[in-house]
Amino acid sequence: MGQSLSCSGNYDHGLFTAVQHGDLEIVTTLLDSDPSLLHQTTLYDRHSPLHIAATNDQIEILSKLLDGSLNPDVLNRHKQTPLMLAAMHGNIACVEKLLQAGANVLMFDTSYGRTCLHYAAYYGHSSCLKAILSSAQSSPVSASWGFSRFVNIRDGKGATPLHLAARQRRSECVHILLDSGALVCASTGGYGCPGSTPLHLAARGGSIDCIRELLAWGADRLQRDASGRIPYMVALKHKHGACASLLNPTSAEPLVWPSPLKFISELNPEAKALLEQALMDANREREKNILKGSSYSLPSPSHSDGVADNMSEVSESELCCICFEQVCTIEVQNCGHQMCAQCTLALCCHNKPNPATACLTPPVCPFCRSTITRLVVVKTECHDETDQDSADINCSKLSKSSRKLRHLNDSGSSSFKGLSSVSSFGKLGSRSSGRIAAEWLDKQ
């Protein structure tokens, strides 16, 4: 696919070279003198000037050509559109301009039967991927085809964009696609025939980030490909040891994003980001434990190590009353009870990661047992510098804290039993927080 777009020969009067190098003046002069040059193509690959501009990120020239009402979907020898080439090279400005000009996102090339979405996913250009997805959402494609069908569109070999992104180790694209409704267990075989899932291809590519994403969206470690292999065996065959450890069906299951829950699909972006981060952190912890016994270690930087340090700056009255470790960041709407993101997630996942067995009835608030219908991010109050003084905690905070603690105490709480990380009262004492314990006693 990586054809070079060198432009030899002077039959085009230098137009292609000028387009390639972004020489707008020459392009303008040439086209003014002979408008038919616009429809010239290169000799072998039959690239139009638009293809060359899109490939070389010549946005000015691309815009000029499109403003001259050139068909944005002109095809080259392999029936590639300029949009496919722009997506292949990650030229986001050109992708956006072509989409604005009405480029069709539902064209298939003849090399692999791929669309522009496949190109963006394969080459890992997440900004292009997002632009194409968002255009597809508002274009006639979603009306005629349905958006989710577009996200799961297959190439000539049955691969969806998610398959390609997983195979090419493009974890960011994997995430975007899953978030946009890509089917995590899609098989290249299609319609019940055996084939490879994105997890098989991620195992082959050896990207632990892609595997983590796929597992967190409920990918099945036991699904078999056309040769009867599970992803674990594929990773072993390609000598990706750390990946194999995570894919080993006997190792601990990761938490799965509870997407079937209605209020999860309705989260606002802020709350969603918090919970997703909590999910990834929890799964990284699991990975560490899985890999501890093996000779593999994770290369990823441990960004969550700073949490403990931040905690000392946080007033204990904001601590989650379930784990007493994290700050409350999520609030159950209506009852107003607050928890940390980790505990919220534990509540929603029920520690049953397999979507086939996951409980789909919405969880209840552990404090008042009302059914959770909506989660929002806790609005933090602004402190000025003087408020940092721990002696100067304001009253509303105190009462909020005591309210939460009282609820915890009252509810005796069988509903706590589903949570994995309860019973850390011991840690409360060790947290140098005589103050919160004293407050609590005061209110009894």
By CB under 5 A, name the binding residues for Zn ion.
Answer: 320, 322-323, 326, 335, 337, 340, 343, 365, 367-368
- Terminal alpha carbon distance of the chain: 72
Nearer to Zn ion by C-beta: 311 or 368? 368
Nearer to Zn ion by C-beta: 97 or 337? 337
Backbone conformation region of residue 366, classed left if phi is above 0, alpha if psi is from -120 to 50, else beta? alpha
Nearer to Zn ion by C-beta: 184 or 365? 365
Minimum distance from residue 206 beta carbon to Zn ion (Å) = 35
Nearer to Zn ion by C-beta: 96 or 318? 318
Minimum distance from residue 408 beta carbon to Zn ion (Å) = 11
Residue 304 identity (one-letter amino acid): S
Minimum distance from residue 364 beta carbon to Zn ion (Å) = 8
Minimum distance from residue 133 beta carbon to Zn ion (Å) = 34
Beta bridge partner(s), residue 319: 327
**R_g of the chain, CA atoms, integer Å:** 27
The whole-angstrom separation of Cα 279 and Cα 285 is: 10
CA dihedral 361, 364, 369, 374 (to 10 degrees): -120
Is 298 within 8 Å of 207 (Cβ atoms)? no
Give the pair of three-digit tokens for residue 283: 């799964």
Residue 268 identity (one-letter amino acid): N
Minimum distance from residue 340 beta carbon to Zn ion (Å) = 3
The whole-angstrom separation of Cα 407 and Cα 337 is: 9
Minimum distance from residue 396 beta carbon to Zn ion (Å) = 18
The whole-angstrom separation of Cα 410 and Cα 368 is: 10
Minimum distance from residue 325 beta carbon to Zn ion (Å) = 6
Nearer to Zn ion by C-beta: 343 or 349? 343
- CA-CA-CA-CA torsion sign (373, 377, 378, 379): negative
Nearer to Zn ion by C-beta: 127 or 402? 402
Nearer to Zn ion by C-beta: 43 or 307? 307
